[in-house]
Amino acid sequence: MFSRQQIIQPVALDINQIVSNTGKMLRRLIKENIGLDVILEPNLDLVSADPGQIEQVILNLVVNARDALPKGGKLTIQTRNVRMENDFGQAGASTLPGRFVLLEVTDTGTGMDEETQTHIFEPFFTTKAVGKGTGLGLATVYGIVKQNNGRIEVKSMVGRGSSFKVYLPAVKHAVLTRTSAKYTGSPNFSEETILVAEDAKPLRDLICEVLSGYGCTVLTACNVEEALQIGRGRKDTIDLLLTDVVMPGMDGTALANEIRSLHPETKVLYMTGHSGTFIRADMLNQDVSLIRKPFTPGELGRKIRKMLPGKLGESSRAGACPKENAAAQRESGA
Ligand SMILES: Nc1ncnc2c1ncn2[C@@H]1O[C@H](COP(=O)(O)OP(=O)(O)O)[C@@H](O)[C@H]1O
Ligand SMILES: [Mg+2]
């Protein structure tokens, strides 16, 4: 997010809806020894924010809380309408003076000492083992909160746990309309089969968690050979191939061609983290698309839902976001 320009689309957003939509996936991310409580304020005020960014905030805070609960415990996500006397960073005419939406993530985990707390929002600050932490989670959260004229507060005690409070300015309903229809949240799939080829294990595991959480059947391959083996061995449909563009051995586009010669029905979604992309714009069409890393679970789900609308009889939705298609095309040509 720091290193690339992101297309951010603030809309009037009901944070409750995002929490609910990600809930199923969050439960899958945390172990059974962690109790998850979700407490949502009814009639929560709207905020102006990008849904993907809010998902990212929730996800980063929840993953941190999970990591702080190696022996289990309790994790709580709560939303509330709050009033504050001093209008820190009010965004302007569209916001309601003094009114904020609070999103709070609390855990009963390890907690942090004061010295640690002074550094947690710094990029690359991590107390986790090499390969476990990047130190970018809270820096990202901080950036998103600031960008949306909000504030973040942390309270923590060693051995007792931590609480992160994110305050975002409430917006007038009249200024922006609710986008529940447009923001469809995490989709549900009905056993669509997705072949995932990704050499980075943590990402591969996370994608599998997310997609099976959505109800997909996931076949995984850690390299091109494995993906080809699965393709050759499978008689049933593979609805979609989700593959890295750059992998050791053979690139993702060659893999996609091989798989499609075996399974002509298979759609292809490339993942790429490289700005100088290896995908030519003219290779992208209805059946072949691109998603840029890093993406949120919701973004991935919606993207796939758009490519595979048929099974739920939602084909009308396929063409519902011409803007996003155009953006993707533009991006891919960049
Ligand atoms: N809920 C929490 N409980 C205890 N420590 C936390 C919590 N959230 C964040 N931290 C501390 O803040 C550091 C930075 O967090 P973050 O930016 O998400 O990076 P990372 O999770 O990759 O280490 C963590 O390494 C950890 O020391
Ligand atoms: Mg983190």
pLDDT score for 285: 81
pLDDT score for 265: 93
pLDDT score for 182: 34
| Dihedral of alpha carbons 126, 128, 132, 137, sign | negative
Contact 292, 273 (CB under 8 A): yes
Structural tokens at position 221 = 């391959």
Give the three-class secondary structure for 58.
Answer: helix
CA distances from 42 to 100, 176, 179, 185 (A): 14, 19, 17, 18
What is the position in ligand 1's atom list of the atom closest to the CA of 64? Answer: 8
Of residues 160 and 201, more confidence is placed in 160
- Ligand 1 centroid distance, CA of 121 (Å): 9
Mean pLDDT (whole number) for 112-128: 94
What is the tens place of the pLDDT at every residue in 211-242? 887 888 889 998 888 999 999 999 999 999 99
pLDDT score for 6: 54
pLDDT band of 181, cuts 50, 70, 90: very low
Q: Which residues contact 235 (CB under 8 A, 6 or more apart)?
A: none
30-58 as b/e: b if 16+ CB within 10 A: beeebebeeebeeebbbbbbbbbbbbbbb
pLDDT band of 31, cuts 50, 70, 90: confident
Range with the lowest mean pLDDT among 49-58, 152-161, 267-276?
A: 267-276
With a 6 Å cutoff on the Cβ, whether 123 touches ligand 1 is no
Range with the lowest mean pLDDT among 99-103, 125-129, 161-165, 209-213?
A: 209-213
Structural tokens at position 213 = 């959480």
With a 6 Å cutoff on the Cβ, whether 135 touches ligand 1 is yes
**Best residue for ligand 1 mutational test, from 58, 59, 64, 110 (most atoms within 8 Å of Cβ):** 64
Peptide bond into 294 cis (omega under 30): yes
- Using the predicted structure, report yes or no on whether residue 88 has a pLDDT greater than 70: no
What is the position in ligand 1's atom list of the atom closest to the CA of 105? Answer: 1
pLDDT score for 324: 39
Residue bearing the CA closest to ligand 1, atom 9? 64
Domains in the chain and their CATH numbers?
A: 11-171 (3.30.565.10), 193-333 (3.40.50.2300)
If you average pLDDT over each of 119-133, 152-166, 320-334, which comes out highest?
A: 152-166
CA dihedral 242, 11, 186, 334 (to 10 degrees): 0
Mean pLDDT (whole number) for 189-203: 85
- Ligand 1 centroid distance, CA of 127 (Å): 7
SS3 annotation, 118-157? CCCCCCCCCCCCCCCCCCCHHHHHHHHHHHCCCEEEEEEE
The closest alpha carbon to 301, from 214, 217, 219, 241, belongs to 214
pLDDT score for 320: 35
pLDDT band of 2, cuts 50, 70, 90: very low
- Ligand 2 centroid distance, CA of 64 (Å): 5
The closest alpha carbon to 62, from 103, 26, 113, belongs to 26
With a 6 Å cutoff on the Cβ, whether 118 touches ligand 1 is no
Q: What is the mean pLDDT of the chain?
A: 81
Pairing of strands 288-292, 193-197: unpaired
Range with the lowest mean pLDDT among 51-60, 126-135, 273-282?
A: 273-282
Range with the lowest mean pLDDT among 12-16, 185-189, 283-287, 305-309?
A: 185-189
Give the three-class secondary structure for 213.
Answer: helix
Mean pLDDT (whole number) for 42-57: 90
pLDDT score for 273: 73
- Ligand 2 centroid distance, CA of 176 (Å): 32
Cα–Cα dist 75/62, whole Å: 8
With a 6 Å cutoff on the Cβ, whether 125 touches ligand 1 is yes
Mean pLDDT (whole number) for 133-156: 92
Report residues near ion ligand 2: CB below 5 Å: 64, 137
Q: Which ligand is nearest to the CA of 141?
A: 1
